[in-house]
């Protein structure tokens, strides 16, 4: 009997929601740690540097610091240093799009002859203050990744700061006046930062399914050959015969299944899934109807679209391939033990093919 082996390759899309132009450019999501500089602080002559790295799929840690040690004309000074660690929760994925932040801050200052807007800290216009401060706050921000290396983010935060201060008569020296503490509630962070990503994201190649090779059993055929010699001697010769190897045929079908975003459940009536699933059932039924064919293995190779975290995409492709495997097992219980799941991770080749075919994607 001829034997045929059936392979099913499921190319699984991430979701059916259309991506906006900005989200298409955001496929360059940084995976490694990033450095950044707040352009608003730079404009005031304050040296600042921050770094950020992802902690989990939707969490990241941002730590920034700044320093200003300059004396300006007219005895104006805004000397200070500050450290500001921050934990961020991203709405979709770390280092992309919208996020909410919880930060702490602390440092020292020596400030005088400075006019803050909105009437804040009026004493600093006529007296010099130095001391320390500490506090924290909550904020909201958004990040744009417009290339593999460069991005920009904006953030605003409000919170509470406690100042410990000493007051002096003039901006450079002067007699000591008093000391005390002051509580402040208001903006604690305002940032428009330029971001640069270090490191190179290694592209994971999709695993190639290993074809099933049926075992070849050796069959012996015995032929008896009689050779007469003087009517007294009979010799029997055994002839070993090896049959031809079975024919192994690989059949494949590429499915573009649709999912709700971030989901892995097979929804047969969702979007165009009914037509996709009918194609793969028709292929299996065709092989089952061939009396000379025997299904040896069915491999479900799953993919996820490449935007997002690489490890998360690998896990998502595994869950989606498993979902298709369970669906086929419910349709063909007799072949359930023949079904195998192979995670494919990110479908870069599929993305490239889709972009090349889509005439609406700009050059």
For residues 12 and 112, membership in a common domain is answered with: no
For residues 210 and 163, membership in a common domain is answered with: no
For residues 173 and 139, membership in a common domain is answered with: yes
Q: Which two tokens stand for residue 3?
A: 């034997």
**Domain range spanning residue 251?**
5-19+204-214+240-357
Q: How far is CA 137 from CA 16, 103, 154, in A?
A: 38, 5, 16
Distance CA 248, CA 227 (A): 42
38 vs 354, higher pLDDT: 38
Element (H, E) at 355: helix 348-357
Distance CA 266, CA 133 (A): 55
Least confident of 67-81, 83-97, 154-168, 229-243: 229-243
Q: Would 303 be classed as within a structural domain?
A: yes
What's the CATH code of the domain at 48? 2.40.160
Strand partners for 343: 302
Q: What value does the mean pLDDT of the chain take? A: 76
Q: What digits encode the pLDDT tens for the residues 209-239?
A: 555 554 544 444 444 544 444 555 555 556 6
For residues 178 and 323, membership in a common domain is answered with: no
Q: Residue 141 has what pLDDT? A: 96
Q: Of the candidates 192, 196, 262, which has an alpha carbon nearest to the alpha carbon of residue 30?
A: 196
8 A C-beta contact, residue 248 and residue 216: no
Strand partners for 190: 156
For residues 244 and 176, membership in a common domain is answered with: no
- Of 197, 232, 257, which residue sits at a domain end? 197
- Of 167, 197, 227, which residue sits at a domain end? 197
How many domains, the chain? 2
Q: What digits encode the pLDDT tens for the residues 171-185?
A: 566 677 888 898 999
Quick one: average pLDDT of 244-256? 74
Q: Residue 351 has what pLDDT? A: 79
Q: Are strands 250-251 and 5-6 parallel, antiparallel or unpaired?
A: parallel
Q: Would 272 be classed as within a structural domain?
A: yes
For residues 123 and 163, membership in a common domain is answered with: yes
Q: Residue 211 has what pLDDT? A: 55
73 vs 57, higher pLDDT: 57
For residues 151 and 132, membership in a common domain is answered with: yes
Q: Would 68 be classed as within a structural domain?
A: yes
Element (H, E) at 130: strand 128-145
Q: Residue 22 has what pLDDT? A: 39
Least confident of 42-56, 154-168, 274-288: 274-288
């Amino acid at each position: 009997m001829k034997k045929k082996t059936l392979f099913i390759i499921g190319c699984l899309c991430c979701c059916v929601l259309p991506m906006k132009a900005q989200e298409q450019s955001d496929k360059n999501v940084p995976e490694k740690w990033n450095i950044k500089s707040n352009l608003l602080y730079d404009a005031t002559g304050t040296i600042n540097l921050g770094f950020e790295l992802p902690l989990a799929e939707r969490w990241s840690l941002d730590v920034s610091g700044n320093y200003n040690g300059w004396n300006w004309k007219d005895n104006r000074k805004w000397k200070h240093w500050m450290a500001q660690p921050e934990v961020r929760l991203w709405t979709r994925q770390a280092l992309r799009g919208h996020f909410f932040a919880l930060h702490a801050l602390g440092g020292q200052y020596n400030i005088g002859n400075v006019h803050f807007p909105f009437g804040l800290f009026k004493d600093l216009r006529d007296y010099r203050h130095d001391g320390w401060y500490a506090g924290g706050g909550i904020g909201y921000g958004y990040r744009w990744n417009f290339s593999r290396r460069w991005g920009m983010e904006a953030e605003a935060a409000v919170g509470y700061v406690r100042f410990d201060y000493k007051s002096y008569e003039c901006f450079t020296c002067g007699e000591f006046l008093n000391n005390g503490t002051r509580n402040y509630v208001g903006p604690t962070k305002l940032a428009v930062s330029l971001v640069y990503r270090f490191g190179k994201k290694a592209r994971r190649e999709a695993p190639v399914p290993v074809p099933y090779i049926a075992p070849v059993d050796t069959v012996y055929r015995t032929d008896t050959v009689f050779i007469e010699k003087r009517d007294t001697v009979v010799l029997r010769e055994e002839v070993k015969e090896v049959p031809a190897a079975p024919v192994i045929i690989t059949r494949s079908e590429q499915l573009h299944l649709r999912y709700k975003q971030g989901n892995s459940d097979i929804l047969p009536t969702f979007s165009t899934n009914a037509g996709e699933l009918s194609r793969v059932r028709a292929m299996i039924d065709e092989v089952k109807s061939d009396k000379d064919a025997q299904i040896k293995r069915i491999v479900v190779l799953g993919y996820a679209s490449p935007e997002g975290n690489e490890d998360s995409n690998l896990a998502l492709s595994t869950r989606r391939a498993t979902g298709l495997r369970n669906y086929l097992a419910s349709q063909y219980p007799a072949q359930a033990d023949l079904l195998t799941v192979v995670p494919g991770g990110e479908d870069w080749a599929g993305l490239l093919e889709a972009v090349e075919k889509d005439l609406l994607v700009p050059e």
